[in-house]
Amino acid sequence: MAEQPPVAPPPLPSNADLAAIFDEIGSLLEIRGELVFKTVAYHRAADAIAHSPHEIARDYRAGRPPAIPGVGSAISDKIAEIVATGRLRFLDRLHGDVPPTLVELLEIPGVGPKTVRLLWERLGIETLEDLRTGLRAGTVGGVPGLTEKGIASLRAGVEALDRRSTRMTLGTAERIVAAIAARLAEAPGVRAVVPAGSFRRRRETVGDLDILVETDDPAAAIASFTEMPGVSAIVNAGTAKAAVRLAGGPQVDLMVMPPGRAGTYLVHFTGSKEHNVRLRALARDRGWSLSEKGFARLGEADERRPAAAESEAAEAGADDAGAAEVEPARGATELRTFATEAEVYDFLGLAEVPPELREDGGEVEAARAGRLPRLVDVADLRGDCHAHSDWSDGIHTIEQMAEAGRARGYEYLVLTDHSHGLAIARGLSPERVAAQRTVIAELNARFAREEAEGVAPAATPAAGFRLLQGCELEIRGDGSLDFDDAVLASFDVVVAALHQGRRQPRGQLTARVLGAIRSPHVDVIAHPAGRMLGERGRDDLDLAWDEIYAAAAETGTLLEIDGSDHRLDLAPERARLAVAAGCTLTIDSDAHRVEELAGIAWGVAQARRAWVGPGSVANTWSRAALLAWVGGGSRPATAGRAAGSRRATS
């Protein structure tokens, strides 16, 4: 081999790569016993990096590092070093102090940094495999701080780790939550059952489930919970909360709320942690300590007044004697409680923040300034631009899908069976497209007749309901489109998607998607990132996203948020950037069966997480407005589009 060129730049790490590095640093510092706030700072920075919409390494290399909350000069310098050299000397040195394999021990439930350090320093355990071996051989123990119970807990933790479930999709979480809520509602004294946590915030996937129960009889609720079928282990159970692990499923936490005081409980257990930290800081600024129980008045000793210590006795003596009577002896401070979340936020001087925004992504500032956006809602949607029938890979008939769309009160449902290039999904040939058109026309004739006769479903809007003919058009591996122009021009709405050749290099993949965006026939790019959540997990396609957003904004091609719970694509971070770049979105169900039409709500939730308002979502528009847009008449730029190429349907 010849000598390497002297200055070949190292490959660019992804945000996930960078986040993993800083998470590792945080964990190693924890094990080393570093100041907690320092380790937290690294983890916070890692989280911010992982969720940043910027391509951070690319921006650093381009010499314009983005401002990332939680990333200060020290971590910024480290990012710069990684991007420039592909290495981080700080981490290399840290590995000399603390074996990097210790991080995997932190994954064990019930095991924290102190325990890991004990295992390492006193027993020489450096890996999960070391621990497994030691537990089997009975050599773990015999040191202070590790009792028999501690060892049993370690063993249970390792077993729990081995069968740890992956994160659930929202649909799976909803099914589990609904079953538990139905059971709890039957327990005596229960007034309300409310799902909380990341499920309520509608994160794309959910790890643990959190359920709140407002009840007069906490013991009965907790007993009902821990004794329900499907529980494989009780993690803990007290008088205020309990946690169980479901067989082959997630951990579920139950919290009890005293009646009439749900406000702070809901806020606390909905989170996120980062959002709560902000709220508590606000409360503290106002002289209150915020916990799930309510707002407790901070005592003199709690106030941050460095000079107060010496004069404390004098101040106490100077206090009004009456006040001392109102606040009995010590500790028992005034507690403010609220029935609703709105009151809690109001007490902090904030507008009520929708759960989907509670991620410390600017919502606290916006709520304080009264500038929270009006978010899109399921009720805003007048149609759905992406659904399948049994003509391709759906399971219900065209008529069943249409009737279901009509029953939802839509003005339209776009039937988007696959094009023939996606053979695995029984894609339609041009001949079957033509045959399908006849079926659709007959259905629409009946719908029009029933509307005229006043026998259409009550939910039918004034404009009536029509089934529109679309297709999910395959963007082929070579970038060409799967139907010719004449066939494409015959659809009401063309939804293009890329399913094949996912591993092509970024330039080639990007060119394929840009080609579709710039086609005069393509109206929507479906699930643009091509990601899959859950067990079928697939990462986002490696696309030059800024180019995608710019081209979509320029041509008016719509970008989809796919509501299928294993897609949710675009992801919120991307959708937020796309709208900022001037793009218009659709939120679709991608339903393959009647029941999945309701899944559009998951897509709406992701749009809300992206701060998207109804004005940026094309299927909040009337059918006429949507058709005018896709026909080219009302798009921002029609250059290159074959104006009037779309046939008029309705």
Partner DNA sequence: GCCGTTTTCGGCCCGACTGTTTTCAGTCG
Looking at beta carbons only, is 4 or 73 nearer to DNA? 73
Looking at beta carbons only, is 159 or 540 nearer to DNA? 159
Task: Tell how far CA 339 is from the center of its chain.
Answer: 27
**Strand intervals (E) in 178-221:** 190-196, 205-206, 209-215
Looking at beta carbons only, is 232 or 429 nearer to DNA? 232
Among 9, 10, 35, 636, binds DNA (CB under 7 A): 35
Q: Which two tokens stand for residue 289?
A: 């300590």
Per the CB < 8 A criterion, the answer to whether 170 and 206 are in contact is yes
CB atoms within 10 A of CB 589: 25
Query: Does the footprint of DNA cover residue 291 (CB under 7 A)?
Result: yes
β pairing state of 190-196 and 205-206: unpaired
Which stretch of DSSP H or E encloses residue 630?
Answer: helix 623-630
Among the candidate windows 40-48, 434-442, 456-464, 548-556, which touches DNA by CB under 7 A? 40-48
- Per-residue binding string, DNA, 153-182, x by CB under 7 A, is x-----------------------------
Among the candidate windows 272-280, 352-360, 412-420, 430-438, which touches DNA by CB under 7 A? 272-280
Partnered with residue 194 across adjacent β-strands are 212
CB atoms within 10 A of CB 87: 11
Residues 569-598 that bind DNA (CB under 7 A): none
Looking at beta carbons only, is 309 or 318 nearer to DNA? 309
Among 174, 204, 292, 474, binds DNA (CB under 7 A): 292
**How far is CA 69 from each of CA 17, 48, 52, 73, 362, rounded to the nearest angstrom?**
18, 7, 10, 11, 10
At which residue do the structure tokens 């149609």 appear? 383
Query: Does the footprint of DNA cover residue 363 (CB under 7 A)?
Result: no
Looking at beta carbons only, is 276 or 555 nearer to DNA? 276
State in angstroms the smallest separation of the CB of 638 from DNA. 44
CB atoms within 10 A of CB 610: 27
Query: Does the footprint of DNA cover residue 240 (CB under 7 A)?
Result: yes
Query: Does the footprint of DNA cover residue 38 (CB under 7 A)?
Result: yes
Query: Does the footprint of DNA cover residue 389 (CB under 7 A)?
Result: no
Per the CB < 8 A criterion, the answer to whether 262 and 291 are in contact is no
Among the candidate windows 13-21, 149-157, 353-361, 481-489, which touches DNA by CB under 7 A? 149-157
Among the candidate windows 238-246, 387-395, 508-516, 619-627, which touches DNA by CB under 7 A? 238-246
- Angle of CA points 602, 605, 610, to nearest 5°: 130
Greatest CA separation for the chain: 93
Query: Does the footprint of DNA cover residue 92 (CB under 7 A)?
Result: no
State in angstroms the smallest separation of the CB of 218 from DNA. 9
Looking at beta carbons only, is 120 or 629 nearer to DNA? 120
Q: Rounded to an integer, what distance in angstroms lies between the CA atom of residue 534 and that of residue 122?
A: 39
Q: Rounded to an integer, what distance in angstroms lies between the CA atom of residue 623 and that of residue 383?
A: 8
Q: Rounded to an integer, what distance in angstroms lies between the CA atom of residue 110 and that of residue 623?
A: 55
Q: What is the CA radius of gyration of the chain?
A: 29
Q: What is the 3-state secondary structure (H, E, C) of 70-124?
A: CCCHHHHHHHHHHHHHCCCHHHHHHHHHCCHHHHHHHHCCCCCHHHHHHHHHHHC
Query: Does the footprint of DNA cover residue 251 (CB under 7 A)?
Result: yes
Query: Angle, to 10 degrees, between the axis of helix 73-85 and the axis of helix 36-50?
Result: 50
Q: Which two tokens stand for residue 388?
A: 């399948």
Total residues binding DNA (CB under 7 A): 60
Query: Does the footprint of DNA cover residue 195 (CB under 7 A)?
Result: no
Looking at beta carbons only, is 161 or 532 nearer to DNA? 161
Looking at beta carbons only, is 160 or 532 nearer to DNA? 160
Query: Does the footprint of DNA cover residue 113 (CB under 7 A)?
Result: yes
Among 9, 10, 66, 72, binds DNA (CB under 7 A): 72
State in angstroms the smallest separation of the CB of 592 from DNA. 34
State in angstroms the smallest separation of the CB of 214 from DNA. 16
Dihedral-angle region of residue 349 (phi above 0 means left; psi in -120 to 50 means alpha; beta otherwise): left
Per the CB < 8 A criterion, the answer to whether 397 and 378 are in contact is no
State in angstroms the smallest separation of the CB of 571 from DNA. 23
Looking at beta carbons only, is 86 or 287 nearer to DNA? 287
State in angstroms the smallest separation of the CB of 184 from DNA. 16
Query: Does the footprint of DNA cover residue 150 (CB under 7 A)?
Result: yes
Task: Tell how far CA 254 is from the center of its chain.
Answer: 22
Q: Which two tokens stand for residue 164?
A: 């740890």
Among 16, 62, 74, 316, binds DNA (CB under 7 A): 74
At which residue do the structure tokens 């759906």 appear? 394
CB atoms within 10 A of CB 279: 22
Among 139, 147, 232, 340, binds DNA (CB under 7 A): 147
Looking at beta carbons only, is 71 or 381 nearer to DNA? 71
Looking at beta carbons only, is 88 or 628 nearer to DNA? 88
Query: Does the footprint of DNA cover residue 253 (CB under 7 A)?
Result: yes
State in angstroms the smallest separation of the CB of 52 from DNA. 12
The residues binding DNA (CB under 7 A) are 35, 37-38, 40-42, 45, 69-76, 108-116, 145, 147-150, 153, 197, 208, 210, 236-243, 251, 253, 269, 273, 276-277, 280-281, 283-285, 289-293, 296, 304, 306
